[in-house]
């Protein structure tokens, strides 16, 4: 059972330079599976994920985890659209979250090597991480996030700019993480990917959740004309 969930969000608002960028948002995330956040460019997908994760300041409202905040911070992870590579080897990058948590160096290195193999980077453990391809860097970022066995993993457009093969490999890693019990909350602009991965959908428009529900019903019979237009590929503002 997750230490973090359910996550209860009430009237959450994020602002930047006195401008509201997301919210107010009311939301509850619980159980297993993958929540996919979709919406047009500028709808607030990244800002919502950052607000939930705690990297975006909460200007109003509440975000309550099922455990104390400090515990929640240590049991979740975030993968950015453009992952940050430490100027170290692949192995050192993957091991880093364990080392800052006090795991012994030898154990951290062994677990990093295991995770590198899981994501297909076992042959490049000693390569300088910043020179990896885009797909390889995204795999590294996922391994670095998953090595702590997070209860919740946030992902912002994890397959943006990747080719089909790399996207398929990333999706397989995500599904395996879901099956191991990690709760995934991710944004994507790729509707094919959303249909393949989502158990639940949040459709954002102008910083607010315009519609939400099980993926099986959202993609077949969305409630609102805006959601129907978006799924057809029309411009929605």
pLDDT at 48 over 90: yes
The residue that leads in pLDDT, 178 or 236, is 178
- The verdict on residue 63 lying in a domain is yes
- The verdict on residue 110 lying in a domain is no
Q: How far apart, in whole angstroms, are the C-alpha atoms of residue 219 and residue 135?
A: 28
- The verdict on residue 67 lying in a domain is yes
80-117 pLDDT, tens digit per residue, is 888 889 999 999 999 999 999 999 999 999 999 999 99
- The verdict on residue 2 lying in a domain is no
pLDDT at 30: 92
pLDDT at 152 over 90: yes
pLDDT at 1: 59
Q: How far apart, in whole angstroms, are the C-alpha atoms of residue 186 and residue 156?
A: 6
Domain span at 81: 7-85+132-232
- The verdict on residue 92 lying in a domain is no
pLDDT at 120 over 70: yes
pLDDT at 166: 82
Return the CATH number at 138. Answer: 3.40.50.300
The mean of the pLDDT values for the chain is: 92
6-16 pLDDT, tens digit per residue, is 999 999 999 98
Phi and psi of 205, rounded to 5°?
A: -145, 125
- The verdict on residue 206 lying in a domain is yes
How many domains does the chain divide into? 1
Q: Which residues pair with 63 in a beta bridge?
A: 9
């Amino acid at each position: 059972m997750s230490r973090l969930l359910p996550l209860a969000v009430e009237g959450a608002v994020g602002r930047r330079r006195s401008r509201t960028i997301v919210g107010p948002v009311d939301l509850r995330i619980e159980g297993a599976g993958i929540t996919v956040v979709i919406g047009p460019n500028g709808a607030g997908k990244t800002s919502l994920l950052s607000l939930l994760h705690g990297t975006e300041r909460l200007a109003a409202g509440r975000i309550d985890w099922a455990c104390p905040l400090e515990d929640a911070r240590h049991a979740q992870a975030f993968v950015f659209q453009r992952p940050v590579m430490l100027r170290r080897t692949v192995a050192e990058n993957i091991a880093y979250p364990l080392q800052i948590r006090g795991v012994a160096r030898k154990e951290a290195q062994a677990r990093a090597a295991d995770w590198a193999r899981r994501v297909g980077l076992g042959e490049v453990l000693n390569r300088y991480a910043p020179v990896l391809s885009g797909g390889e860097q995204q795999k590294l970022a996922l391994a670095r996030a998953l090595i702590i066995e997070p209860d919740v993993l946030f992902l912002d457009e994890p397959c943006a700019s990747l080719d089909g093969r790399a996207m398929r490999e990333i999706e397989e890693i995500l599904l395996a993480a879901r099956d191991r019990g990690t709760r995934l909350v991710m944004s994507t602009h790729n509707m094919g990917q959303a249909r393949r991965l989502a158990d639940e959908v949040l459709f954002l428009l102008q910083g607010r959740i315009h519609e939400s529900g099980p993926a099986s019903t959202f993609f077949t019979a969305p409630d609102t004309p805006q959601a129907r237009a978006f799924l057809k590929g029309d411009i929605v503002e």
